Amino acid sequence: MDAIDVIVTKRDGRELSTAQIDWVIDAYTRGVVADEQMSALAMAILLNGMTRREIAEWTAAMIRSGNRMDWSALPGRTTDKHSTGGVGDKITLPLAPLVAACGGYVPQLSGRGLGHTGGTLDKLESIPGWRASLSNAEMLDVLGEAGAVICAAGEGLAPADKKLYALRDVTGTVEAIPLIASSIMSKKIAEGTGALVLDVKVGSGAFMKTPERARELATTMVELGTDAGVTTVALLTAMDRPLGLAVGNALEVTESVEVLAGGGPADVVELTVRLAREMLDAAGLAGGKDPADALRDGSAMDVWRRMISAQGGDPDAPMPVAAETTQVLAPASGVLATLDAYGVGLAAWRLGAGRERKEDPVSFGAGITLHAKPGDEVREGQPLMTLHADDASRFERALAALEGAYTVGETADPGLLPLVIDRVTA
């Protein structure tokens, strides 16, 4: 097998054979295929696409590059959720313990933030003592004790994806739907869950800007999961405005705890309950305890406390607070018509809540608290948002990111997306 032949096949718009796919993934993982060769292949895939068979076999080859996890020792069914990422998207935090409180086991492997989108592990690491890195045995122990675990993926899970993900990021091939879908699904299938619900974000703060592109990605991932024997469902959800009222690591943990305590912003509660019901249904656990009841009766909060404690965290510890704050005031009276998710996410990133490179630290207390959402009435001079940073010098660039990111008018923008746009199944 030769790398050039594989590149030329896809460059000319032809299908890659099973043997070509298996060889190139294995050879790239071992360093036999060079980065520049895989870059050329990734660009050919971006331009010419892949068939359903090619994507399925590409995904399977990435899974075989590492280990697969096994949860058969658990006394119940496993179910998981993956979000494509957005601004204020803290749903995993209340969702995992909520599903566990209703009878599911949730082995949630999560990642860190990069750019304007936040990362679940960064949020949880703002809790004093909490550990993201667990061995497989430790994951099983936490699952047995709490019913849910949220942690980092081990080095042995789909290592081919780790190499290819970093390459796509610097070669202009991130947008290739076959590569996005196989990247997400290779890790989720290797994780060993029995059922999977995908939250595919749509809008300015998401990777997929339009419902059409999001639906194409969702359909591809649902097909991959189904072909691998994992019951898979996808929801397309809005990310044209931030989710909830908190954007930033510790701020989002605090808001998640409010949801678990029976409060919190209506959109976060609605989406958390909807996704929980989808996860339980996909795992064959519908008809038991309803997630809305588990929020009201405190059982989801009990699971949260056990899960955080089992990973070394102190659920009662005070959360980090930024040293400096400043406010953005309403320029006029009326209704907050728009609040652009990307602008808010970029501002939070510039305040220190995110990172530019993977090795950069984050400021746990940095971020933005929103005091109004699109559709809310506001008065001139009323605070629209509070910016939090450890260094006041960060405010200038954050405020620049917010210029044009919000408007006040007579009504909310009629073009705002519904919270749940569509549902995609096999």
Active site residues: 82, 161, 168, 183, 187
Q: Which amino acid is at 307?
A: M
Strand partners, 370: 385
What is the C-alpha R_g of the chain? 22
Concatenating the DSSP letter of every residue in 287-339 gives TSS-HHHHHHSSHHHHHHHHHHHHTT--TTSPPP--SEEEEEE-SSSEEEEEE
Query: Measuring CA to CA, which residue among 78, 89, 224 is closest to residue 158?
Result: 224
Distance CA 187, CA 109 (A): 9
**Are the CB atoms for 425 and 235 separated by under 8 Å?**
no
Q: What is d(CA 228, CA 51) in angstroms, rounded to the nearest whole number?
A: 16
Give the list of residues 6+ apart from residue 290 with CB closer than 8 angstroms, or none: 102, 277
Per-position DSSP letters for 93-155, written without gaps between them: HHHHHHHHHTT-BEEEEE---BTTB--HHHHHTTSTT------HHHHHHHHHHHSEEEEEPPT
